[in-house]
A and B are shown apart, each in its own frame.
Chain A
Amino acid sequence: DAGVTQSPTHLIKTRGQQVTLRCSPISGHKSVSWYQQVLGQGPQFIFQYYEKEERGRGNFPDRFSARQFPNYSSELNVNALLLGDSALYLCASSLLQGSEKLFFGSGTQLSVL
C-alpha cells in the first residue's frame, strides 16, 4: 500500500506569490494534518482536517488555509509568501480524528526568494 504522498517535492517561489501544496493520505485514512518545519526546528502544527472539516488550527496567520476533498486528499494554500515561509511542509494522515498513530509524508520543501 502507498504511504502518504505529497507533491511537489520541491518548490521555489518569490515573495508575494501564492503556493498550493498537495497531500494524499494512506488509503482508508480520513484525517490529514499539516506541519511546518523550519530548518533546525521541530515541526509546528498548522491544521488538522477530518471528514472535510477543520478540526484544529495552530498559531499561523490567515495567509495559511487548507481544505480536504471528498476523497480525503488535502491542499495547503499559502498566500502573499514571505521569506520566513521557507520550510519543509509535512503532511500526516491518520485513520480517525483522534488516532494516536500519525503517518508522515516526505514533505514539500518550499523556498521563498
Chain B
Amino acid sequence: KQEVTQIPAALSVPEGENLVLNCSFTDSAIYNLQWFRQDPGKGLTSLLLIQSSQREQTSGRLNASLDKSSGRSTLYIAASQPGDSATYLCAVRGLGGGGNKLTFGTGTQLKVEL
C-alpha cells in the first residue's frame, strides 16, 4: 500500500526566503507525482506534474524534482511571497489499474510573513 509523507507539517518563513518542501513515498512504482496548492476551505490547484521518467519540472518561481528510486520529491519555492501562504500537497499516481486515483500526503502548511 502506497504511503506518502510530507515534512515539515508546518513552516513559517519571512518574505523573500527560498524554501524547500519535502515529500516521500513508499512504493516507487509510480506513474507520476503532482504538487497541489490548497487555500483554506478550498479545493486543490495543480502546480506541477512530474512524469516518472522525468527528474524535474519548473513553473515560474516553483521547481519540483523527483527521485523515483529513493521515493522522494522536493518542491522548491524561490523568493517566497505572502500570497504563497497555503497548504501544499503532493500526490502520487500508481501504476496499473485504478484509473487516475491519487494518493496524497498530509500536506505542508506554509505561512509567509511580511
Q: Which residues of A contact B (CB under 8 A)?
A: 4, 31, 33, 40-45, 48, 50, 55-56, 58, 88, 90, 92, 94, 97-107, 109
Contact = CB atoms under 8 A, between A and B. Distances in A.
B61 interface: no
B100 A94 contact: yes
Contacts of B105: 42
B110 to A, nearest CB: 15
Given A42-B4, A42-B89, A100-B32, A107 B42 contact: yes
Secondary structure of the B side of the interface?
strand
A31 B100 contact: yes
Given A55-B99, A56-B101, A100-B100, A42 B45 contact: no
Interface of B: 4, 32, 36, 41-46, 49, 89, 91, 93, 97-107
Nearest to A45: B101
A44 B91 CA distance: 11
Contacts of B106: 40-42
Nearest to A59: B1
Contacts of B98: 48, 56
